[in-house]
Chains A and B, each alone.
Chain A
């Protein structure tokens, strides 16, 4: 393990004097969880965390609107990945929510002075170190606080490739922002971890759950079914909603796929990286082949993004159409269905 993770290193010193290596990650929750484990001496990559915590997902919820648009998600619900990984790798984590902002900030300072590095759930809008165009009211961003500095905190945000400073005011607002999925000052750190966790059984549990979520959830908008539903919706959307609104919807899907920290192609490449690591762990050629197939599917998703962006940009003047974009999504739905069926079989055959 490890090769798939390290691209840029940034060394920091925590309160207790240990070295902390900031590693660039694609996604906040998996990045933070991996960093908390690494800090306790368990060498684990972001992709591994993502796979073990069953982060792979697809859902399109047409009846829940967020900023006026139906929710499309390529990942499991925020704040489910971290507890799953903790459970499957046998770590004990301190977790707590706070109602009162003052108490929450005092608790953070106490935790830091006790020598912990602390994971926090925050609202991304109030973190002003972010590029402006990516700041929006979303309450599920995870960061790690390393230590207190003058007028603020030293923060390791896995989305960025270097640690940053965050002012106390920003951090307090971000932790206690209101609205949907309120973070409520949620704070967590690793108390104890198992020294040599059973990666093999954790991987299998993670894989089996992901297969279930993608293939067999008895609910129409989840997994492969959700993909097909959305694809057909996209094909019909210009007639149903009118061209401008259809463009907005399509652009929103692509944003969820590429923009919100997915490592490319809506987490598909990250999952391929996980399958590759798992293949090494089990010495399984079948898993290695599935990893390659996942990469190929990811490339189709990228093509979908390209076609969609051209549709949006050309305003119907190009040869790219909604039908083509939706068609690409149907293709990746079909191939993902086969992939997860195969993966399920392989996972059942392998011994932990």
Chain B
């Protein structure tokens, strides 16, 4: 890759730039910051959109009462039950039980507080999911 070939297609990194190794005119390697590559956007977009679509589905499931809000917040933090269980210090099988809305609704405040801490949310925030469609919804 030559310096002129370092992709500067799109501002893909939200204003940040990423280091690429490329050859300068004398054939020496230098680090060149790149703003983004269109092909990278395609593959990253596939993964990001998939996560977003999945999260949106989960949100709807929570709203109709199939799953508890805990499940939504776990997914929005890109965790799985095992990571959440370890972070909150609660056994995996209990965490999975708490994905059922009727059981989640009866949780003690102390348990809710532990989940809230693990997910970096307030206890109030843990109990609800966004009502309207708001895209990815996992910014801090």
Interface residues, chain A, with chain B CB atoms under 8 Å away: 3-8, 24-26, 46-47, 125-126, 128, 130-137, 159-161, 169, 173, 177-179, 247-248, 251-252, 254-255, 258-259, 261, 263-265, 269-270, 272-273, 276, 295, 298-299, 302, 305-306, 308-310, 312-313
Closest approach, in angstroms, between the C-beta of A7 and any C-beta of chain B? Answer: 4
Q: Would B29 and A273 count as touching, CB distance under 8 A?
A: yes
| Complex CA–CA separation, A242 to B20 (angstroms) | 34
Q: Which of B78-86, B98-106, B122-130 contacts A (4 or more CB under 8 A)?
A: B78-86
Given contacts A179-B82, A295-B1, contact A255 B16 (CB under 8 A): no
CB distance from A47 to the nearest CB of B (A): 7
In the assembled complex, the Cα of A312 lies from the Cα of B136 at a distance in Å of: 22
B50 interface hit (Cβ, 8 Å): yes
Query: Number of residue pairs across A and B with beta carbons under 8 Å?
Result: 141
**Are A295's CB and B23's CB within 8 A?**
yes
Pick out which of these stretches binds chain A: B40-48, B60-68, B108-116. B40-48
The 7 closest A-B pairs by CB, nearest first: A273-B29, A309-B39, A178-B86, A269-B21, A131-B14, A251-B43, A179-B83
Residues in A neighbouring B20, C-beta threshold 8 A: 26, 263-264, 269
B44 x A261 contact (CB < 8 A): no
B94 at the interface (CB under 8 A from A): no
* Interface size in chain B (residues, C-beta < 8 A): 42
CA separation between A24 and B18, bound complex, in Å?
8
13 A–B pairs (Cβ distance < 8 Å), ordered by A: A4-B30, A25-B31, A26-B19, A26-B20, A132-B138, A132-B139, A159-B19, A178-B87, A251-B42, A251-B47, A254-B43, A255-B47, A270-B21
Chain B contacts to A: CB under 8 angstroms: 1, 6, 13-23, 28-33, 37-40, 42-44, 46-48, 50, 77-79, 82-83, 86-87, 120, 136, 138-140
Which residue of A133, A273, A310 is within 8 Å of B44 (Cβ)?
A133
* Also in contact, A247 and B46, with CB within 8 A (given A270-B21, A298-B1): yes
Q: How far apart are A315's CB and chain B's nearest CB, in angstroms?
A: 11
Of B1, B18, B37, B78, the contact of A136 (CB 8 Å cutoff): B78
Q: Which residues of A contact B78 (CB under 8 A)?
A: 125, 135-137
Q: Which of B19, B39, B47, B77 contacts A263 (CB 8 A)?
A: B19
